[in-house]
Amino acid sequence: MSDILSINELNLSGKKVFIRCDFNVPMDEFLNITDDRRIRSAIPTIRYCLDNGCSVILASHLGRPKNGFEEKFSLKPVEKRLSRLLGRDIKFADDVIGQDAKKKASELKPGEVLMLENLRFEKGETKNDENLAKELASFAQIYINDAFGVCHRAHASVEAITKFFDDEHRAAGFLLQKEINFAQNLIKKPARPFVAVVGGSKVSGKLQALHNLLPRVDKLIIGGGMAFTFLKALGENIGNSLLEEDLIADALEILRKGKELGVKVYLPVDVVAAQTFSAESAVKYVSVQEIPSGWMGLDIGPASTRLFKEVLADAQTVWWNGPMGVFEMDKFSKGSIKISHAIVETHATTVVGGGDTADVVERAGDADEMTFISTGGGASLELIEGKELPGVKPLRKASFE
Ligand code: AMP
């Protein structure tokens, strides 16, 4: 049994339920939703409430509006998409806690769904304001958090609001439970060998995660831009590749700690190098010992891909966060795509975290074969760092503390 208050342990029958969702989806300049994964992920919890005869109030943020209402941050397009996905009408409030929201929330009948406007149109949301939280809480008898992507933020609809519901009236939705359980199992009882694959631009963003993972993994693969700070620490000439000079000492400390703990740490042995950070530039495949000065490594090379594939072959658990190169440009996306293929070819439990990495997996056509793809970048990293998330803490069962 999990130590998280779960939606399926509550008596929901016929109640009014407030669900904090994460509908923070990407949109193009015409306000078309370009990726609706987050909307689709919320559906099991919404349907469960409807099946239990509830009336459902949905709330989310979208983007970072500065000063109240702005058309481009309206949740209206999300309401349309969700309505289509659910196959039913959704009522929409033009404000968050204003007259329209209050009227529509109070008139809501069992089986009906109401979506509030963008929570961040209210300044108090990001300030964890208790008055805003109280107003939101007054709309419903039950509070469900299914917004993993914001659980690392103490915001009014995530943290302060939980104070207005007791343990019989607040819980995590299905998506949030899944996210927490995958991260916890990974940290507490991974099947071995456990291989962490870490990439992306900077060491600084993943330093804490590396420190927390090191005593828990059997092997650590480091790729992407962050690998160059490690290679530099080992004395390689990395040309103009990405470098965080002030973290060279930390990189060495991680390598030292890895040795001490018996963790096998793997770095790229070759790279795809270019003279400029652009899709048009000519490229060379070079070993890390031979990066010409003035050139920069923008992807891992074919020898590194083969090496990492070997390293992954016997894995039973894989956690992957961060691309192996500048995957946004086709020329530098091969390393990430091949590592994605190598990961799904294992017989391991495979968990992917971070928006960029999820995009790579999607582009590689491997999404359906990964065990779990996390919807929250920052939040999933903080769980792996071993932090208690402000949105999750109030949902832990008191008896487990
Ligand atoms: P992060 O947000 O730290 O996970 O970093 C993701 C970003 O890292 C992506 O936008 C990649 O383009 C970038 N990245 C990956 N490899 C490199 C590299 N070798 N040089 C520069 N940027 C990189």
For 327-367, how does the pLDDT look when each residue is reduced to its tens digit (9 = 90+)?
999 999 999 999 999 999 999 999 998 889 999 999 999 99
The HSE-up count of residue 319 (CA atoms within 13 Å, CB side) is 29
CA of 328 to the centre of ligand 1 (A): 9
CA 320 to chain centre: 12
The response to whether residue 202 sits with its C-beta less than 6 Å from ligand 1 reads: yes
Whose CA is closest to 143, among 52, 58, 50? 58
Our answer on whether the CB atom of 198 is closer than 6 Å to any ligand 1 atom is: no
Residue 332 CA to ligand 1 center (angstroms) comes to 10
Half-sphere exposure of 167 (CA within 13 A, CB side): 11
Interval between CA 227 and ligand 1 midpoint (Å):
10
What pLDDT, on the 0 to 100 scale, is given for residue 288?
A: 98
Q: Is the confidence at residue 227, as pLDDT, over 50? A: yes
Mean of pLDDT values over 276-295: 96
Number of DSSP helices (H) and strands (E) in the chain, helices first = 13, 15
163-215, pLDDT tens digit by residue? 999 999 999 999 999 999 998 888 888 999 999 999 999 898 899 999 999 99
Ligand 1 centroid from CA 139, angstroms: 43
* Ligand 1 and 328: CB distance under 6 A: yes
- pLDDT band of residue 1 (cuts 50, 70, 90) is low
Instruction: Give the other-Cβ count within 10 Å of 237's Cβ.
Output: 13
> Catalytic positions, please?
38, 202, 355, 378
Among protein residues, the one with the nearest Cα to ligand 1's atom 21 is 225
pLDDT of 346: 97
Q: Is the CB of 325 under 6 A from ligand 1?
A: yes
Nearest ligand 1 atom to the CA of 329 is: 12
Cβ density class 176-212: b for 16+ within 10 Å, e for less: bbbbbebbeebbeebeebbbbbbbbbebebbbebbee
In whole angstroms, give the CA distance from residue 47 to residue 67: 33
Report the nearest-CA residue for atom 15 of ligand 1. Answer: 325
CA of 276 to the centre of ligand 1 (A): 15
Per-chain mean pLDDT for the chain: 95
pLDDT at 116 (0 to 100): 98
**For ligand 1, atom 18, which residue shows the shortest CA distance?**
225
The Cα–Cα gap between 366 and 316 comes to 18
Query: How many Cα atoms within 13 Å fall on the side-chain side of residue 320?
Result: 33
Decide: 223 in ligand 1 pocket, CB within 6 A. Answer: no
279 lines ligand 1 (CB under 6 A): no
Q: Given the DSSP bridges, would you call strands 296-300 and 270-274 parallel, antiparallel or unpaired?
A: antiparallel
